[in-house]
Amino acid sequence: MKLTPLVQSFVLHFGEMGSRWGINRTVGQIYALLFVSERPLNADEIADVLDFSRSNVSMGLKELDSWRLVKLQHLPSDRREYFSAPDDVWLIFRTLAEERRKREVDPTLSMLRDALLVVPANPQDAHAQRRMEQMHELIELVTTWFTDIQRLDEQTLRQLMKMGAAAQKLLEFKDVLLLKSKAKKTTKASLPENLIPPIF
């Protein structure tokens, strides 16, 4: 198997970007190769194509497996393990985001919750705790929003993402409706009881 210039540029780029996303270059390149490959690949093939040592490929595949980003399968009459990336890019996105939340966001939330339970010993701690509370509130809000987003089906999620700035206009419209509803209730409540029109 030989990489075309197009595939090679994609694989190399993913390796460079991997370090910025918290994974090493090897893991990034292995995943990029599996993602664009027309068929599942075994570890020897991956090592040969990317010119990596077999041990580096094994470690990279274990890392990707821990992130639930590769599928393992066996082929008839072949004892080797073959690997592929999930076909559904939305599933990949959901899995990656969920794993990052578990590894990065959840521990931070846990630490902040513990810190907020401590009785501040001095004004400096009290100030720090107020700032931590703001951070906790923001992270929890984003996490709850993301959990709700995760439950949406692909079509709904696509529509939501395409809305962009239109979502803001929808929220503004909702606020206008709420204000009008409150104004009607206030007007109705201020009328004498005998002048309020019957509901039925």
Question: What pLDDT shows up at residue 93?
Answer: 84
What one-character DSSP code corresponds to residue 3? -
Whether 152 contacts 163, CB under 8 Å: no
Q: Which class for 127: exposed (0-12), middle (13-18), buried (19 or more C-beta within 10 A)?
A: exposed
Give, in order, the Cα–Cα distances in Å from 127 to each of 21, 108, 112, 119, 134: 32, 19, 14, 12, 11
pLDDT exceeds cutoff 50 at 193:
yes
Give the pLDDT mean for 73-85: 92
The answer regarding whether domain 5-84 maps to CATH 1.10.10.10 reads: yes
Provide the strand spans (E) within 50-178: 71-74, 81-84
Confidence band, pLDDT 50/70/90 cuts, at residue 156: confident
pLDDT exceeds cutoff 60 at 197:
no
Mean of the per-residue pLDDT values for the chain?
Answer: 86
pLDDT exceeds cutoff 90 at 178:
no
Which two three-digit tokens encode residue 102? 């578990």
Question: What pLDDT shows up at residue 189?
Answer: 56
Model-wide pTM > 0.85: no
User: How many whole angstroms separate alpha carbon 166 and alpha carbon 93?
Assistant: 23
Question: What pLDDT shows up at residue 167?
Answer: 66
pLDDT exceeds cutoff 80 at 169:
no
Percent of the chain exceeding pLDDT 90 equals 54
Question: What pLDDT shows up at residue 199?
Answer: 41
Strand order in the sheet with 71-74: 41-42, 81-84, 71-74
Which two three-digit tokens encode residue 77? 């009459």
- Any idea where the domains of the chain sit in the sequence? 5-84, 89-151
Question: What pLDDT shows up at residue 187?
Answer: 59
Percent of the chain exceeding pLDDT 70 equals 84
Question: What pLDDT shows up at residue 196?
Answer: 46
Question: What pLDDT shows up at residue 175?
Answer: 66
pLDDT tens per residue across span 12-26: 999 998 877 778 899
Give the pLDDT mean for 111-137: 96
pLDDT tens per residue across span 129-140: 999 999 999 999
User: How many whole angstroms separate alpha carbon 84 and alpha carbon 185?
Assistant: 60
Question: What pLDDT shows up at residue 111?
Answer: 96
**Comparing 43 with 152, which gets the higher pLDDT?**
43
